[in-house]
């Protein structure tokens, strides 16, 4: 499922830019991703090119131990609630109409 930048920002994801000279030369801009730490070693990562979110588990050396694609708005909300990133009443304040339009 594709998620829009505004919804990701509204949920508290933080932007991380990285400088890739080849990408900049090819596309004219440096890529970035958005991340939200859920707990020690687990984060949600949003890719700016695919607009998809995946939950990623890392070890202490930042090696990836596992990945899981977020397949729906409901799945995302359930994960955020489970990790205490949003409360029940906060869901109604987030506009997901643009997500479903993609």
**pTM, to two decimals:** 0.76
Q: b/e per residue, 4-26, with b = 16+ CB within 10 A?
A: beebbeebebeeeeeeeeeeeee
Residues of the chain with pLDDT under 70: 88-102
Q: Where are the beta strands (DSSP E) in the chain?
A: 14-17, 32-39, 42-47, 53-58, 64-69
Domains of the chain, residue spans: 5-101
pLDDT of 2: 95
Cα separation of 40 and 21, whole Å? 31
């Amino acid at each position: 499922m594709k998620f829009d930048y505004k919804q990701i920002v509204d949920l508290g994801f933080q932007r991380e830019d990285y400088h890739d000279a080849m990408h900049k030369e090819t596309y004219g801009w440096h890529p970035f991703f958005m991340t939200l730490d859920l707990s020690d070693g687990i984060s949600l990562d949003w890719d700016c090119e695919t607009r998809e979110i995946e939950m990623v588990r890392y070890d202490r050396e930042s090696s990836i131990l596992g990945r899981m694609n977020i397949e729906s708005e409901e799945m995302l909300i359930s994960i955020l609630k489970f990790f205490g990133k949003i409360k029940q009443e906060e869901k109604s304040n987030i506009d997901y109409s643009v997500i479903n339009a993609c």
